Amino acid sequence: MNFSGTITKPNFPFPPTEMPILTFGHSKLTAATLALQLPCNYIRKIRFITKLQCSVAGRTDSYRTSAADSQGSKRDSGEIQRKRRGASSLYAGYARPSLSEMKKDKATLRKVVYEFLRGIGIVPDELDGLELPVTVDVMKERVDFLHSLGLTIEDINNYPLVLGCSVKKNMVPVLDYLGKLGVRKSTITQFLRTYPQVLHASVVVDLVPVVKYLQGMDIKPDDIPRVLERYPEVLGFKLEGTMSTSVAYLIGIGVGRRELGGILTRFPEILGMRVGRVIKPFVEYLESLGIPRLAIARLIETQPYILGFDLDEKVKPNVKSLEEFNVRETSLASIIAQYPDIIGTDLEPKLADKRSVLNSVLDLDAEDFGLIIEKMPQVVSLSSTPMLKHVDFLKDCGFSVDQMRKMIVGCPQLLALNIDIMKLSFDYFQSEMERPLEDLVEFPAFFTYGLESTIKPRHNMVTKKGLKCSLAWMLNCSDEKFEQRMDYDTIDMEEMEMEPSFDMNSLMRPRSDESDSDYEDSDYEDDDDE
């Protein structure tokens, strides 16, 4: 190291010298040699100057280095600060509020939505815990859409949970699917009033499988929308639950498999009936009255709606009313088989009204009204005015009150026949047959036969044959039987047939499509599937 080029002159005076001895390149001096040749003061001054110069030089280099570094560090520092500010800003944007803050904000937004709903008349009490729109605008969109479907504020209050359905995600897809099936727009309002839960359903998961099941029950595609319109609740049932068990039970009691499609089309409510609680007790009660199970199956095929008659609220009380109005217990099965609607109507006031009307013109005995119901249970549904007109017609024909009473008790159908046709038959009876009125009193069913198809041809044959017979012997038999009678030389009184009555066996004719069923009663005792 050479210090000659780095030492500057001090401000204090000292003897000038070239100081060759400080040049390390030419002679090497030890500290002891230098100390001997220079005075102590001088040595101290030199050391001070040297230290001062080294310090100044070091600071100069340090300043140069730090200056260069400072420019770079300023650039780096600026960039770092910008990055820090950016990171801080980014973090601030994604910073999550505390749980308490989130709950507070959510409660505030829900309060605003609730205030909107109350303002338009909707009670939101049942909506607590339900996920709702966070803004009034979205909730207003839902309410307006429901209004466009015909639903009123009252309808929404009946099922406020519908406000939890998204218009785009829930309502529109469901309504589009129902429209494609053929559900009419004119019925959609009542459809949703009856079963608003459908708006929560998934088309693929919930609705499509049910429709496929109905098609599998032989319900025609064109009838599917009518079934849904009549009983929209069917879309909420599980396939393996009530629907399958009710169908299996009906087949088990003898309902024809080919009849299922028609039965379910006319009365799809069967699919929602529990076997153990509704269908089976109903069937067993009718059996206890004397109606065979197969006959019940035939009644269900032709009038499936009878399964909707409440057993405890309607059926049993109506049967009791029939007995109170002097209907014999042995006739209950025949009455219900002829006219099953009688056990599903508001029967007692109708029975009282009809008995009062008939008593006023016929002076019936206590048992007479019961006999009328047994022979024609439909009389409970007749209007009083037409009945009185028929009584007046008989009176005009010349029958006495006693004769009319006997005729109507023997053949209550006289109260419901077409009066114009009755007049034609009576005119023929008087002018061509020339029989006494008492013959009609003994066989009032004469008026129930066709004049051109039955009465005239048979009367002509009897007259040609020269036979003397009663109206009952001539009319109350089949055409085949009548042909056989025309070969008789004499009339056998033992062949006289009773007046026409209901034949229970007519309900139990065998079907070609009947097959054995695996049904067992125990399978349906406590079915609680939904």
pLDDT at 40 over 60: no
- Give the CA distances from residue 261 to residues 130, 230, 265, 308, in Å, rounded to whole numbers and listed in that order: 40, 15, 6, 18
Contact present, 412 and 379 (Cβ < 8 Å): yes
Mean pLDDT of 98-124: 80
Within 8 A by CB and 6+ apart from 59, the residues are none
Backbone conformation region of residue 326, classed left if phi is above 0, alpha if psi is from -120 to 50, else beta: left
Q: How confident is the model at residue 14 (pLDDT cuts 50, 70, 90)?
A: very low
Distance, CA of 398 to CA of 392 (rounded, Å): 10
Encoded tokens for 348: 């007692």
Mean pLDDT of 17-35: 42
Contact present, 417 and 376 (Cβ < 8 Å): no
Distance, CA of 120 to CA of 146 (rounded, Å): 13
Q: Which of 8-12, 126-130, 164-168, 361-365 has the lowest mean pLDDT?
A: 8-12
Other C-beta atoms within 10 Å of 145: how many? 16
Q: Phi first, then psi: give them for residue 189, nearest 5 degrees.
A: -65, -50
By residue count, the chain amounts to 530
Give the fold, CATH level 3, of 311-416: Transcription termination factor 3, mitochondrial (1.25.70)
Radius of gyration of the chain (CA): 53
pLDDT, tens digit, for every residue of 226-283?
999 999 999 998 887 778 899 999 999 999 999 999 999 999 999 999 999 999 999 9
With 0-12 / 13-18 / 19 or more C-beta atoms within 10 angstroms meaning exposed / middle / buried, residue 25 is exposed
The average confidence (pLDDT) of the chain is 81
Backbone conformation region of residue 218, classed left if phi is above 0, alpha if psi is from -120 to 50, else beta: left
Q: Between 331 and 523, where is the model more confident? A: 331
Nearest to 164 by CA among 199, 125, 194: 199
Mean pLDDT of 45-55: 51
Distance, CA of 162 to CA of 200 (rounded, Å): 8
With 0-12 / 13-18 / 19 or more C-beta atoms within 10 angstroms meaning exposed / middle / buried, residue 163 is buried
Q: Between 396 and 516, where is the model more confident? A: 396
Within 8 A by CB and 6+ apart from 103, the residues are none
pLDDT, tens digit, for every residue of 387-441?
999 999 999 999 999 999 999 999 999 999 999 999 999 999 999 998 999 999 9
DSSP 456-470: HHHHHHHHHHT----
pLDDT, tens digit, for every residue of 67-86?
444 454 445 555 545 545 55
pLDDT on residue 107: 74
- Give the CA distances from residue 363 to residues 366, 406, 470, in Å, rounded to whole numbers and listed in that order: 10, 11, 28
Other C-beta atoms within 10 Å of 264: how many? 25
- Please measure the distance between the N-terminal and C-terminal CA atoms of the chain and give it in whole angstroms: 104
Residue with tokens 């230098």: 34
pLDDT on residue 507: 72
Distance, CA of 488 to CA of 472 (rounded, Å): 16
Encoded tokens for 228: 């849904």
Q: Between 324 and 522, where is the model more confident? A: 324
pLDDT, tens digit, for every residue of 317-352?
999 999 999 999 999 999 999 999 999 999 999 999
What pTM did the predictor assign?
A: 0.72
CA dihedral sign, ordered 333, 335, 340, 345: negative
- Give the CA distances from residue 228 to residues 184, 198, 232, 291, in Å, rounded to whole numbers and listed in that order: 10, 11, 5, 33
pLDDT, tens digit, for every residue of 179-237?
999 999 999 999 999 999 999 999 999 999 999 999 999 999 999 999 999 999 999 98
Calculate the CA dihedral of residues 175, 177, 180, 185 and round it to 10 degrees.
-20
Encoded tokens for 198: 């459908």
Within 8 A by CB and 6+ apart from 262, the residues are 301
pLDDT at 384 over 50: yes
pLDDT at 134 over 80: no
Distance, CA of 486 to CA of 488 (rounded, Å): 5
Q: How confident is the model at residue 105 (pLDDT cuts 50, 70, 90)?
A: low
Q: How confident is the model at residue 50 (pLDDT cuts 50, 70, 90)?
A: low
pLDDT at 526 over 90: no
DSSP 136-203: HHHHHHHHHHHHHTT--HHHHHHSGGGGGS-IIIIIHHHHHHHHHHT--HHHHHHHHHH-GGGGGS-I
Distance, CA of 301 to CA of 255 (rounded, Å): 7
Q: How many CA atoms lie within 13 A of 43 on its CB side?
A: 10
Q: How confident is the model at residue 66 (pLDDT cuts 50, 70, 90)?
A: very low
Where does 289-342 have alpha helices with state H? 293-302, 316-324, 332-338
pLDDT on residue 395: 95
Encoded tokens for 227: 């079934």
Within 8 A by CB and 6+ apart from 351, the residues are 321, 322, 325, 373, 380
pLDDT at 2 over 50: no
